[in-house]
């Protein structure tokens, strides 16, 4: 008896958690002190709502944290994308929320202070961002020979047709934009059309650094979206170590006995390509879309009764699509992880052949494949990750139910284990 299956497994709702060896609330990074010394260690991984005024730093996971204030650290940065640099700037501390404004808004209240500014883009022209304690947004531009200078937007409430609306005077910040890009006509023209919005300002600075001047290489760009994201591409290779199948078949014209358990083993080639999107604001989390291909081949002998020797050839081509969640740090520290998944495997029968052989004659019957049948599937994966490489052991359990020949029903369960090596690329 020969039959061939083409199976398509769609594993969804994959959830992976990663056991971190780093202290809770910390991630890898560095600080630069007032002497210009760069110290590598662990930086407090706080989700700041405003720019920080202090930061906790550890030289080792088991070390006591040391608190540094703005006056002690020139710059600090984490592997998760947080990048702050100390600058002395003028800050408009006047209230700028509509609930605290009237038609005759009070004038700006300007103070000078040394603060850590969030670096949004760095190069010949650098863009900084600051959110102050009153949740007011500030943007600054800096060149080597001038700045940082704040791009100010004057806002006020005005009465239009009897309604109070918030209005903006954009001439102030556009004037500063055009001053800093005056040496590049294309960028200066774009500056006149740039709205006062983080992403638009960042795009303008990127354009200037890439196209204006010979010393314009951009060394750092940070996404300014609400959920700042990084994208990684993962390639997976490996092999299934064991595949165990168990099947039973009722008597068919009194010619079959219940099939014995089938234990095909061998190497299973596995390959895959995944897209991993990491929201920076949700650190240590990765949402993945992974396309994985497996090709399984098995060969086993089964004796039905005396005088008949039937050989079962099973060839499985399995294509699985995984959409799920995984925690990855991209750290140089070795970290174990595990994951579980559940989904449905859709089995497509292409064709099979039943052969009856005796000493007098040979008869064979070939039947075409039947429609697809859905089968429940589950997946478990454990492994370790160091940097951009992961080594994991993945197991998959499938319980398909499929009509092989009418009227008997073919039932089987299968469990596959595979050793996988994954490489992640930013």
| pLDDT, tens digit, 9 for 90 and up, residues 165-216 | 666 556 678 888 888 998 888 888 888 888 888 888 888 888 888 778 554 4
Question: Which letter does DSSP use for residue 418 in this model?
Answer: E
- Report the 10 Å Cβ neighbour count for 97: 11
pLDDT above 90 for 72: yes
Q: Give the torsion through C-alpha atoms of 86, 77, 119, 330, to 10 deg.
A: 180
- What's the rounded Cα separation, in Å, for the pair 53 and 37? 20
**For the whole prediction, is pTM greater than 0.75?**
no
Q: Which two tokens stand for residue 87?
A: 């600058």
- Interval 303-322 mean pLDDT: 35
Do residues 66 and 80 touch, judged by C-beta distance below 8 A?
no
Q: Which residue has the tokens 């070390």?
A: 63
How confident is residue 383, by pLDDT bands cut at 50, 70 and 90?
Answer: confident
- Report the 10 Å Cβ neighbour count for 46: 12
How confident is residue 313, by pLDDT bands cut at 50, 70 and 90?
Answer: very low
- Pick the residue with more confidence: 54 or 16? 54
The alpha-helical segments, DSSP class H, found in 74-197 are 171-180, 185-191
The alpha-helical segments, DSSP class H, found in 229-278 are none
Number of continuous H segments (helices) and E segments (strands) in the chain? 3, 24
Q: Apex CA 275: angle with CA 346 and CA 235, to 5°?
A: 85
CB-neighbour burial class of residue 243 (10 A; exposed 0-12, middle 13-18, buried 19+): buried
Percentage of the chain lying above the pLDDT 90 cut:
11
Do residues 167 and 156 touch, judged by C-beta distance below 8 A?
yes
2-20+228-425 CATH fold: Lipocalin (2.40.128)
- Report the 10 Å Cβ neighbour count for 165: 11
How confident is residue 95, by pLDDT bands cut at 50, 70 and 90?
Answer: low
Nearest in space to 326 (alpha carbons), one of 17, 4, 91: 17
How confident is residue 422, by pLDDT bands cut at 50, 70 and 90?
Answer: confident
- pLDDT on residue 420: 73
- Interval 130-143 mean pLDDT: 82
- pLDDT on residue 93: 61
Q: Which two tokens stand for residue 191?
A: 């500056």
- Pick the residue with more confidence: 125 or 408? 125
Q: What ranges do the domains of the chain cover?
A: 2-20+228-425, 82-221
pLDDT above 90 for 141: yes
Q: Which two tokens stand for residue 49?
A: 């709502």
- Pick the residue with more confidence: 419 or 316? 419
């Amino acid at each position: 008896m020969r039959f061939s299956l083409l199976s398509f497994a769609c594993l969804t709702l994959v959830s992976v958690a990663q056991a971190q060896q780093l202290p809770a609330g910390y991630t890898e990074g560095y600080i630069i002190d007032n002497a210009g010394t760069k110290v590598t260690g662990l930086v407090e991984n706080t989700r700041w709502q405003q720019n920080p005024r202090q930061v906790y730093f550890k030289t080792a996971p088991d070390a006591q944290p040391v608190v540094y204030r703005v006056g002690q650290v020139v710059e600090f940065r984490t592997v998760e994308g947080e990048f702050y640099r100390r600058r002395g700037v003028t800050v408009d501390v006047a209230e700028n929320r509509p609930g605290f404004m009237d038609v005759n808004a009070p004038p700006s209240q300007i103070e000078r202070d040394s603060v850590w500014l969030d670096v949004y883009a760095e190069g010949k022209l650098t863009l900084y961002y600051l959110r102050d304690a009153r949740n007011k947004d500030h943007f600054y531009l800096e060149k080597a020979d001038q700045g940082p200078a704040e791009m100010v937007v004057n806002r006020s409430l005005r009465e239009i047709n009897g309604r109070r609306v918030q209005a903006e005077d954009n001439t102030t910040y556009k004037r500063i934009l055009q001053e800093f890009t005056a040496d590049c006509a294309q960028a200066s023209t774009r500056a006149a059309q740039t709205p006062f919005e983080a992403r638009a300002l960042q795009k303008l600075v990127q354009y200037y650094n890439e196209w204006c001047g010979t010393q314009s290489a951009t060394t750092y760009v940070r996404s300014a979206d609400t959920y700042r994201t990084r994208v990684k591409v993962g390639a997976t290779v490996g092999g299934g170590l064991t595949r165990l199948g168990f099947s039973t078949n009722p008597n068919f014209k009194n010619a079959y006995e219940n099939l014995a358990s089938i234990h095909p083993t061998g190497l299973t080639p596995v390959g895959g390509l995944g897209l991993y999107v990491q929201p920076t604001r949700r650190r240590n989390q990765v949402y993945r879309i992974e396309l994985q291909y497996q090709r399984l081949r098995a060969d086993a002998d089964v004796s039905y009764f005396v005088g008949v020797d039937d050989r079962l050839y099973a060839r499985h081509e399995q294509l699985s699509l995984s959409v799920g969640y995984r925690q990855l740090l991209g750290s140089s520290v070795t970290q174990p992880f595990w994951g579980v998944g559940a989904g449905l495997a859709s089995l497509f029968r292409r064709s099979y052949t039943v052969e009856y052989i005796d000493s007098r004659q040979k008869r064979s019957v070939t039947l075409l494949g039947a429609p697809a049948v859905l089968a429940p599937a589950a997946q478990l994966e454990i492994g370790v990750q160091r940097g951009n490489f992961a080594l994991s052991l993945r197991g998959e359990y499938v319980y398909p139910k499929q009509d092989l020949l009418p009227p008997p029903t073919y039932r089987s369960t299968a469990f596959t284990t595979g050793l996988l090596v994954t490489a992640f690329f930013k």
